Structure 1
């Protein structure tokens, strides 16, 4: 089985470029400091399907969770370009500044010393009140530890902190004194989505068959771990970064090769369920085929 999860354990993140003064929306020199938060095991959802489609009550879905490594590394980063925005949070590229092996030492070690330990990184920063969604997403990443770097990107931790009164985050529209908690997921930076503006030549399909097969194989990987992926969409699939600068993808234990794409957005609509592999595969196939059929005509839908 792959051991594609992170090889470095962090305790604290200092993030520059996120904290603003709420009174006039000016950037503060103060970094956002967030600390590692250990998410609970992923919850197994209620049995809500036909009995014939579900595992026996005496045969519950197995857990594949690996508890995240605990460590003392401190990483200082800055907010880079915005990569995406949704209801639950905003994704930014992360620019590495410096690090420290322990919180008690100055965070001024050259980032080059971590070469080979960290790929290019991204941060997902919570919208207000979305900390529980981030915790659930980290629980899913822990359940899929062996698929990190295989079918999904590597996750380097969930971190939590709290703003001071009079502060707000860059992507928040205003300040609310009763909502100052912040959650941050530190993730492996991935590549681009399949472009939507590619011309169609002589009726050629919008999504090439090799990419369709690759995306389907990623869903099959999740199926092997009993994970229902309900937020299926064109934007759910990102290309892996080439190595270098990215870390090389791990060989998939099921398909015996390195995937060139990864599934993202494992929070909303992603859960551990009681379905049999065959039943979940049928659900996936119906939804996936519907998305691909529409994409082939340039139409984007979300299921």
Structure 2
């Protein structure tokens, strides 16, 4: 039986935090966080007249009801392993030597896992992404990765996270772009304002490990159709990610064996071979699925064309 995504209460990570005085790595004990329902404001456009019915809904779609059991109290222990990649707001590592409640978990119950560690100045962005994983619970394991929680720990003055220095961001500005749209469309949640000012917290998402990213070069039409369908699924929830469509955010479904099975989409019933990741810049809107899919189409076509050109230039 697959482990519910809310079963883990505490994670202990080895190899993540360093004592500045001794320069030794020390265990980091992080506790599950809960995202407030109002953490992310809705990007709401009023519908001026009935002729806009194809474009705008009267309100944003409600979050689908959760089908998870009551939150669990399990504890997970793991070691930071291979570096997988990084971006504006986070750094991703594999976990190995994973134990759940003191024993090695059944791989048919717990998939291979990764942690996405927020950069020290991007805590609000990771909290925002955690909110969208909660919002899209019904798509986890289908169109997006399974997310096993958002966890945080306050660092003491003599503790640091070596990954922050080992994998610095290309953009070192203190401005948190993930909150720009929130400022534009509503009041930024006070938790987010507080989080954006802090530099003494390690914050992580615990996620199912996926396969390789979308390759450069020509893609078969079946793959393009499947990737496009990921965005169709997200559109049904009123979620817009049009400003962040790029190959780095499209990964193959898990390739290792054994792995948890891919689930059919609750909207298209398609079993996808790909997953969409990275939701720090997503927006919750009252745009209809038709309008969102229309907005996605030219951006996806451009992504496929650019990937093919880049593959030809750098085979």
TM-score of the alignment, normalized to the shorter chain, above 0.5: yes
Q: 2:159 aligns with which of 159, 167, 172?
A: 167
Structure 1, unpaired ranges of 5+? 101-108, 199-205
- Asked whether the 8 Å contact 1:66–1:143 carries over to 2, the reply is no
Aligned equivalent of 2:265, options 252, 256, 262 = 252
Aligned residues: 273
Distance 1:209 1:240 in 2: 17
After TM superposition, the structure 1 = structure 2 runs for residues 130-279 of structure 1, keeping only pairs within 5 Å, are: 130-173=122-165, 179-196=199-216, 206-229=218-241, 230-242=243-255, 244-267=257-280, 269-279=281-291
TM-score by length of 1: 0.82
CA distance in 1 between counterparts of 2:57 and 2:266 reads 26
Alpha-carbon distance between aligned partners in 1 of 2:277 and 2:46, rounded to the nearest angstrom: 26
What is the deviation of 1:76?
Answer: 0.5
CA RMSD of aligned residues (A): 2.5
Cα distance in 2 for partners of 1:188, 1:49 equals 38
TM-score w.r.t. length of structure 2: 0.79
Query: Which of 10, 15, 29 matches 2:13?
Result: 15
- The answer as to 2:44 corresponding to 1:47 is yes
Instruction: Tell me the equivalent position of 2:63.
Output: 63
Give the distance between the partners of 2:44 and 2:296, measured in 1 at CA.
18
SS of match in other structure, 2:42: coil
Separation in 2, partners of 1:209, 1:5: 34
Q: Partner of 1:201 in structure 2?
A: none
Paired with 2:85 and 2:290, the residues of 1 have a C-alpha distance of: 33
Unaligned 5+ runs, structure 2: 167-197
Q: Structure 1, residues 242-278: CA drift from partner, whole Å, max 9, x if none? A: 36332110122333332111111122x2121121222
4+ long deviations beyond 4 Å: 48-51
For the residues of structure 2 that align with 1:40 and 1:54, how far apart are their CA atoms?
Answer: 29
Q: Counterparts of 1:149 and 1:280 in 2: how far apart (Å)?
A: 22
Q: 1:182 to 1:249 in 2, by over 3 A?
A: same
- Please tell me whether the aligned partners of residues 15 and 76 of structure 1 are also in contact (alpha carbons under 8 angstroms): yes
Instruction: Looking at secondary structure, tell me which structure has more helix per residue.
Output: 2
CA distance in 1, matches of 2:57, 2:274: 34
Tell me the CA shift for residue 77 of structure 1. 0.3
Partner Cα separation in structure 1 for residue 15 and residue 65 of structure 2: 34
Q: Which residue of 1 aligns with 2:90?
A: 89
Structure 1 residue 7: deviation in Å? 5.0
Deviations 1:34-57 (A, max 9, x none): 000011226342335885375354
Q: Judge conservation of contact 1:5–1:154 (CA < 8 Å) in 2.
A: no
